[in-house]
A = this chain, B = another copy of it.
């Protein structure tokens, strides 16, 4: 016997939320139409009614994940810093904190990225997002080089941006591998001493 109806938009939201719940709890590999339906307390037929094919559901889940995960937003507090170096510092700190506070989102994003190795469309979407991320850092790095031209001999803004992104990636992995010992401030202090000394 059919249950109560719900409007198109609402139902889709519920289903996507359920899909996120299942995928982050049991992995993308265990993301099945029926598991999502059970999580949303619907029949699997209903899920397929709103997302015609499973592929569609997976893609919309990725889209949901990208928009839900608030990435690299330069807040007013950060923009107020007069020195570009301080803005970069604050931004790195913010992103590290975000990743370590949204471990499920980050982990799922990494799983999507692994999936992208075999699915062209997913790879393209993730590449675009990472590029967007890199571009945001690039702007700051260009300001940085303009403000202090002598501080970074022989280093391009592109190179700096790439390092910043990979730096965030490393922190993301580390924060999930060993969340108890992940401390943002100690992290920055350690790397400051370490790499600043490399000959």
Measured CA separation A29–B177 after assembly (Å): 21
Given A89-B199, A110-B110, A199-B86, the answer on whether A164 and B194 have CB atoms closer than 8 Å is: yes
Least CB distance from A197 to B in Å reads 5
- Pick from B117, B158, B191: contact of A195, CB under 8 Å: B191
Contact of A168 among B170, B178, B187, B199 (CB under 8 A): B170
Q: Which of A108-162 contact B (CB under 8 A)?
A: 110-111, 113-115, 117-118, 127, 130, 148, 151-156, 158-160, 162
Whether B110 contacts A114 by the Cβ 8 Å rule is yes
> Size class of A's contact patch?
35 or more
Q: Is A105 an interface residue (CB 8 A)?
A: no
Q: Which residues of B contact A192 (CB under 8 A)?
A: 195-196, 198
A74 in the interface (beta carbon within 8 A): no
Give the residue name and chain of the B residue nearest to A194 (CB): B160
A9 at the interface (CB under 8 A from B): no
Please give, as numbers and ranges, the residues of chain B lying within 8 Å of A189 by CB-CB distance.
154-155, 159
A187 to B162, CA, bound (A): 8
Whether, in the assembled complex, A181 has its beta carbon less than 8 Å from a beta carbon of chain B, the answer is: yes
Q: Would you call A44 an interface residue if the criterion is a C-beta within 8 Å of the partner chain's C-beta atoms?
A: no
Q: Which residues of B contact A160 (CB under 8 A)?
A: 190, 193-194
Query: Which of chain B's residues have a CB closer than 8 A to the CB of A199?
Result: 85-86, 89
Smallest Cβ distance from A119 to chain B, in angstroms? 10
Given known A170-B167, A190-B155, contact A114–B117 (CB-CB < 8 A): no
Chain B nearest CB from A149 CB (Å) reads: 12
Let me know if B196 and A130 touch, CB within 8 A: no
Contact surface of A with B, Cβ cutoff 8 Å: 26-30, 85-86, 88-89, 107, 110-111, 113-115, 117-118, 127, 130, 148, 151-156, 158-160, 162-171, 173-174, 177-178, 181, 186-199
